[in-house]
Chains A and B, each alone.
Chain A
Amino acid sequence: MEIRLRFALLLTSFFVVWVYGATPIPNKQLLGIDPQDLSFYKSNVIKCKDGSKKFAKELLNDEFCDCPDGTDEPGTSACPEGKFYCQNAGHTPIKIFSSRVNDGVCDCCDGSDEYNSNANCTNTCWEAGKVAREKLKKKIETFKEGLIIRKDEVEKANNAYAKDEADLAKLKSDEKVLKELVQKLREQKERIDKLEEEERLKKEKEEKSLREEEEKSKEQEIKADETQIFDTMENHEQDGSTGNLDIAVESGTDNMVESKKASTQTEEQHVGEGHDDTSESSGGISQDGEISSYEVPKQDQDDSGSTEELSREELGRLVASRWTSEGADQTTDKIGNVEEDLMDQDSSVAHEHEGYTSETDDDRSKDDDDDDDNFEDDRDDEFEDDHSSSDASYIADEYEKPDPLDSIEVSSPTWLDKIQQTVQSVLQAFNFFKTPVNVSDATHIRKEYDDTSSKLSKVQSRISSLTEKLKRDFGKEKEFYFFYDQCFESKQNKYVYKICPFKQASQDEGYSKTRLGSWDNFEESYRVMVFTNGEKCWNGPDRSLKVRLRCGLKNEISDVDEPSRCEYTALMSTPALCLEDKLKELEKKLEQMNTRKPQGHHDEL
């Protein structure tokens, strides 16, 4: 169709004025010629449009192809490259491939393509045209309304964008102030730390001589414990080194299998010794482990393993799963999860070792760590981290709850003033320290330091998230600005498709979530949103999603499809696509359709 349109436009530009030729062209010879093209055919010797040769007028539509481009046979099927023009009065004129001429199938609604075949074509143009016109009218209405909405949205978006920019500027200046405060507090805190340390050393010295004898035996015990722990740590570090890994890989798996049980036990012991909060994760592991033990033999993608232990049904399913991803997909996912959990466990184990070695962290500092972790994750706008994706509920929460940083009221000047005042007063009140340090003073200073630096990091993360947001391409007129903080959902059978522009898209089924992709970009001049690098498909590509946008009054996903395995497409209507140019084009088209009435019909409009 595009080719045909382009072709028609090209011709139009050449022959704007149509003069009736002196030589009349016999009717049959006129077949399939675009009226705008008639003047081209009026001379007695006609050129092939591709310039390859010339032909005499008698050869026009004589059922023999002379021009490779089909110039001489617009009305027959003789040239493979030819195009046949159907007038289709009452509807839209079209050009069809020459292969359709007299092939027994009615292609033009006026039936003009079957002038010499057995096909009995009736003229359906007016009826079909009516439907098409109605449809077009509705579309135009939608465009008109949508255009208004769009204008409004664009205005709002530009305001909001300007506000974001202002906020960012403000945040940056706040950051500067806070940084200075934190710096001052840190100096104070360090001073206190130093004093306290001196104090402690002094005390220790005093007590040392007193308790030296009785402490000796006890200390030896502790030392022994520490050695053990250090040994384990060394192993751990070694394991991480790639050199060792290579050796292990080469040495084959038998060894692994044999020592596997032992290792598991060792790990379990470690976990047992660990803090309470790890027992939860170890529980999770063993649960997943069970799943894997059930699924893994089925998986058995490789052959040399014996399949004898499988039930006959399992074997059947296993072999079937080679051709299909069914079953295997699940298993892969499960194993993937197990693997991730394993990694998680590793990190938690590592964490514990840190705890053992440093022995200085108390519960509170751990909580702080956790807070920091959350912050870091909050800053993650995109889903680049595979591991976080395994935690479905987490993702859901993150995108459902409002940005936690919004709780910092950027516009309100009071909070910063308050902090400044408090810090100022604290600094003044505790300008000088003596030993021994007053415990409540020290606590006060530390608390202020912690509070303020936490504020600072919140401001910083807000800055980075805003910066990240403002880097985005929101369209020519920022018409997609409000997409940034929105997700759109569509339920199709058992799946809920969730599309968060500029972020990510997923397919949810109950509690399980499949990542279809992370935001990539717009394509086709803002007509398509592309999400790529979704979860890998078994035996297939990484999942991806293309969302085709079209004009509509609401932001709505209307259709999600998977035309090729793991390559999803969706349709979304949005006012952002109700464009003025397109509206004009449609109105013009309607006008044309209305003017081309076939004879004998009355325009009922």
Chain B
Amino acid sequence: MIQYRPKMQLAGSSPGSSKAHNLVRVKILCSQPQFAMRRSIVRSLLFSSSSAVPATMAPLPPLLLRYLVVILIPLFLFFSSASAWKKDEFRNCNQTPFCKRARTRTPHSLPRLIVSDLLISDGHLTAHLQPSLSSEDDVSAGDTPHPRPLVLRLSVYQDGILRLKIDEDYSAPSAPSKQRFEVPDVVLPDFEDRRLWLPRVSSTEDGSISSLYLSDGFEVVLRHDPFEIQVRRKRSNDPIISLNSHGLFEFEQLREKKEGEDWEERFRGHTDTRPRGPQSISFDVSFHGAEFVYGIPEHASTSLALRATRGPGVEHSEPYRLFNLDVFEYLHDSPFGLYGSIPFMLSHGLKGSSGFFWLNAAEMQIDVLAPGWDDSAAAGNDRIDTFWMSETGIVDAFFFVGPGPKDVLQQYASVTGTLAMPQEFAIAYHQCRWNYRDEEDVATVDAGFDEHDIPYDVLWLDIEHTDGKRYFTWDRVLFPNPEEMQKKLTAKGRHMVTIVDPHIKRDDSYYVHKEATDKGYYVKDATGKDFDGWCWSGSSSYPDTLNPEVREWWAEKFSLKNYGGSTPSLYIWNDMNEPSVFNGPEISMPRDALHFGGVEHRELHNVYGLYFHMATADGLLKRGNGKDRPFVLSRAFFAGSQRHGAIWTGDNSADWDQLRSSVPMILTLGLTGISFSGADVGGFFGNPEPELLVRWYQLAAYYPFFRAHAHHDTKRREPWLFGERRTALIREAIHIRYSLLPYYYSLFREASVSGIPIMRPLWLEFPEDKKSFDNSEAFMIGEGILVQGIYEEGQKSVSVYLPGEQSWYNMRNGAAYSGGQTHKLEVFEDSIPSFQRAGSIVPRKYRFRRSTTQMANDPYTLVIALNSSLAAEGELYIDDGKSYDFEQGAYIHRRFVFSNGKLTSSTIHSASLREKKFSSSCTVERIILLGLPSAPKKAVIEPGNHETEIEPGPLTLRGGASSVALVIRKPNVRIADDWTIKVL
């Protein structure tokens, strides 16, 4: 009996169980679904501290206690197994000294920073930044009596981009021997080529302000005392973005440890030695003329616009945390950090858009400040102040002037890159589960899709396919013939994905471990030994992919020769690359672990996952001799991850709220460059009700990355397991995606060129429609399609706001709705509301196949929705869907324009400069016209002066479709050719 003590102590002595703390938790959780509520109640019962027990309470009789144990233990187990997020496992701002310090600071309380020694050198503007020494009551003066100056550098790039760097002055006499970490490999290599050579600085007469040319209509203003940077419009002098307007800039400079000083930080039994002491940076950034700010993933939220985290009206909130973490059963609405981090924020308002990106891979905390946070009476609605804090690194910040939201995205993309063009199969439907157990299971699931006429392109294998979680190996009992298995899928045009995580099993007989150990390729712990952490494979080490040599070595592991049992149709999934370390602080790697070049883990934590993702994608690229586009899905990400593959939102749960939050999460990823992303269909944890699963499929069919996935404790949920009706509904949802693949592929092409995401917030397309700014429920696919999710069980009707001035055509029944209005619509079981915008042409394919492979030669359908002037336009991009030949011009890119009763197809790029060509014999089998007031009977096709019929017809070929549109029957023109079709 006595052996129960440790457990009960454990429960009773919760370190953070002050009453207030519990209250806060309960409050936060109250908005959660039932299970979280239950849990919080039990917790507060179990964990209330002894002081909460009334003094009058007599000691419990012994037998009563025993009953309690008997009753509570099962309760405890029940709730804990159904419970979710482990809040106490993660540091909040108050438990994070740099954040706590910075957050309590008030505006202008620090010594003023003064700019001096301005110099144009090498086309940059450099200057020194030094605190004023005038104030004797300076608090921090005691720490650093004679602070070294900081070095400030401003550079200007094409298209309205300002780069600001602030770092230690390493040339100063007392400079630190070790440099601070600058994140390499994120900024595009050719970005420097776009730098504008600064000719001169113009200063005001009193020398208090210097200004720089930024781009047409925009300039940078550097105020010297106190230091402030402002990007503003030239003519009106209206500021757009400013830094240090509130005097919150602080840069903790590296220094020697003083005697008796304790730099160590402890959290939940983990000690961070912090050998280099405090080195954090914080500053304020203001977005002028902004109504909302967006971005800085990854956080789960039902709101696309970032909510204020501090100031009037905000009772209690953490700042948005950017720290890549493996969070078990994350909440659907919380500012705590998840698997990836992108320190890029955008603002938008009627006056325009702007963006701010801080290239820094250390832990970051960002406050969005509510108007009036600084007690200033002048708090206008016209400005959003934000406060940025980072544990270490340097200031390497980019300001984007916009002025349109798409301009900001393109400016950001010119720094960190656009998405890598995926293979066509990768943008179709993926079927995953932890785990498809063995070859028979794989065959059965594959056959299930055929049996139910549901297309899918990729079957996934999770960790259990390996031999004891040794990646690149197979459990040969369950998977005796992996090549054979993949060939069977390939025969139907399908692909396979296997998982490869960064934790390498510490097993001397495992070749990967042996090589990495021998070559010294692992991340080291603070003492210099190979870091040893616990993950799926048990005791594990992590390749130090910061080192290019390690990445090279890692990439080689994916060659067909090295990865036994792999075939060219096998692609890869990187999970746990935050990195997840089960027995590490906050389920990750200790911050004092050491990387290549003596870089501390704290300095690069948020970019570790990107490097691993990059090395894996390089591996696949090498495997295919640079001819086969890689597909690698990663959970962790950083700015620039879009260049290496797809991202998903990690281990979500099967509840309606998480379905809802998936949309703002994916939209936010898209705004910050990660266009190819999605959420697990159905929810990873838990069992979705069939209705939820169907709704999830209907929504996810529009996600850029469309994959169903489930935890191994959940019930099977392949699409045909919920009765005939639901099978039909899910089939229909998946078919919608397949029918739209030509449109999606064209949008992927656009994203890979311009950085404009596939799935877009409404305001990206309607930047002047104020009602769209805070819409988190609906989204655009490209310019032509608007989708409204259904996020409630048994929902009977929905209010849909349709932006803009043009009409919208319901894609279910062809009905027209006017724009700029909210429409209350009946909700149907068979689809979620989706609309084609008047004025758009959407290319589709109405033949259904097993997978994308068999669709290559199928004919197209063009759906034309005419606007009020009876015009419309759209694009179609086609290539081989696999190789890089498109880079040499082997593609077809058409523009379709309908005006004056005539549809014209013309090529967007001239063929003259092309080294390679792509040809297609595909034809257009059907053209659907919406919004034509008259009912013409015939169309004439040129060249050839060939006539074809026009007849009333359905919008889709399924579900008893009635004739709601006009259909040009079998024009049979080739998609690659120039032609016109005139409606008579």
User: Could you tell me which A residues sit within 8 Å of B by CB distance?
Assistant: 1, 50, 52, 62-65, 68, 77-81, 97-100, 103-105, 235-236, 238-240, 244-245, 247-264, 266-268, 285-286, 289-290, 292-294, 296-297, 299-309, 312-320, 322-325, 328, 332, 335-336, 339, 342-343, 346, 537-541, 563-565, 567
Contact = CB atoms under 8 A, between A and B. Distances in A.
B62 A304 contact: no
B493 A104 contact: yes
A125 to B, nearest CB: 19
A389 to B, nearest CB: 15
- The 5 A-B residue pairs whose C-beta atoms are closest, nearest first, are A316-B534, A263-B62, A293-B3, A301-B80, A304-B14
A296 B4 contact: yes
14 contacts: A68-B957, A99-B848, A235-B62, A239-B63, A253-B11, A262-B62, A264-B62, A267-B1, A296-B3, A296-B6, A304-B15, A307-B268, A319-B582, A320-B534
A250 B81 contact: no
B70 interface: yes
Contact of B583 (A267, A315, A325): A315
Given A50-B960, A79-B957, A306-B268, 10 more contacts: A68-B958, A78-B847, A80-B735, A81-B958, A244-B64, A248-B65, A254-B53, A320-B582, A564-B715, A567-B715
Given A260-B4, A267-B62, A342 B69 contact: yes
A251 B53 contact: yes
A398 to B, nearest CB: 26
Interface in B812-864: 846-850, 853-854, 858
Contact of A564 (B3, B88, B453, B716): B716
Contacts of A335: 73, 77
Contacts of A100: 850
A97 B453 contact: yes
A292 B3 contact: yes
A387 to B, nearest CB: 12
A256 B8 contact: yes
A541 B72 CA distance: 21
A257 B47 CA distance: 12
Given A64-B969, A296-B7, A313-B583, A105 B711 contact: no
A64 B970 contact: yes
B567 to A, nearest CB: 18
A268 B1 CA distance: 9
Nearest to B851: A103
B11 A305 contact: yes
A333 to B, nearest CB: 11
Contact of A323 (B69, B711, B850, B958): B711
**Interface range, B side:** 35 or more
B89 interface: yes
A246 to B, nearest CB: 11
B534 A312 contact: yes
Interface string B63-103: 11111111111101100111100111100000000000000
A252 B858 CA distance: 68
Contact of B958 (A80, A244, A245, A299): A80
A251 B57 contact: yes
A345 B848 CA distance: 66
B846 A286 contact: no
A31 to B, nearest CB: 16
Contact of A80 (B268, B712, B846, B969): B846
A63 B925 contact: yes
B908 interface: no
B81 A256 contact: no
Contacts of B265: none
Contacts of B557: none
B383 to A, nearest CB: 39
Contacts of A253: 8, 11-12, 46-47, 72
Contacts of A260: 1-2, 4-5, 8, 65
B268 A304 contact: no
Nearest to B969: A64
Contact of B12 (A99, A254, A266): A254
A339 B74 contact: yes
A252 B46 contact: yes
Given A52-B960, A248-B60, A255-B53, A309 B81 contact: no
B67 A245 contact: yes
Given A68-B954, A254-B12, A259-B59, A304 B64 contact: no
A541 B81 CA distance: 12
Given A264-B2, A306-B15, A324-B712, A238 B45 contact: no
Given A68-B957, A304-B15, A257 B67 contact: no
Contacts of B715: 541, 564-565, 567
Contacts of B269: 306-308
B81 A259 contact: no
B854 A263 contact: no
A257 B9 contact: yes
Contacts of B493: 104-105
A313 B539 contact: yes
Contacts of A293: 2-7
Summarize A's interface: helix, strand, loop or mixed. Answer: helix
B552 interface: no
A99 B64 contact: no
B583 A105 contact: no
Nearest to A62: B970
Interface in B622-675: 651
Interface string B950-961: 000010011111
A539 B11 CA distance: 21
A302 B15 CA distance: 13
B750 to A, nearest CB: 28
Nearest to B961: A68
A226 B28 CA distance: 54
B7 A263 contact: no
Nearest to A565: B713
B300 interface: no
B957 A80 contact: yes
Interface in B1-55: 1-17, 43, 45-50, 52-54
B535 A320 contact: yes
A256 B712 CA distance: 37
B858 A316 contact: no
A325 B714 CA distance: 11
Nearest to B721: A564
A81 B957 CA distance: 8
Given A256-B8, A315-B582, A540-B713, A263 B57 contact: no
Contacts of A250: 45
A98 to B, nearest CB: 8
B13 to A, nearest CB: 7
Contact of B88 (A65, A104, A304): A304
A546 to B, nearest CB: 13
Interface string B706-739: 0000011111100000000000000000010000
A313 B540 CA distance: 11
Given A285-B1, A565-B714, A99 B847 contact: yes
A565 B534 CA distance: 25
Nearest to A268: B1
A9 B4 CA distance: 68
B492 interface: yes
A77 B453 CA distance: 13
Interface in B466-509: 491-493
Contact of A301 (B81, B268, B441, B714): B81
A290 B958 contact: no
B80 to A, nearest CB: 3
B305 interface: no
Contact of A317 (B2, B8, B534, B853): B534
Contacts of A236: 63
A305 B10 contact: yes
Contact of B13 (A239, A303, A305): A305
Contact of A103 (B43, B328, B850): B850
B587 interface: yes
Contact of B854 (A103, A255, A302, A539): A103
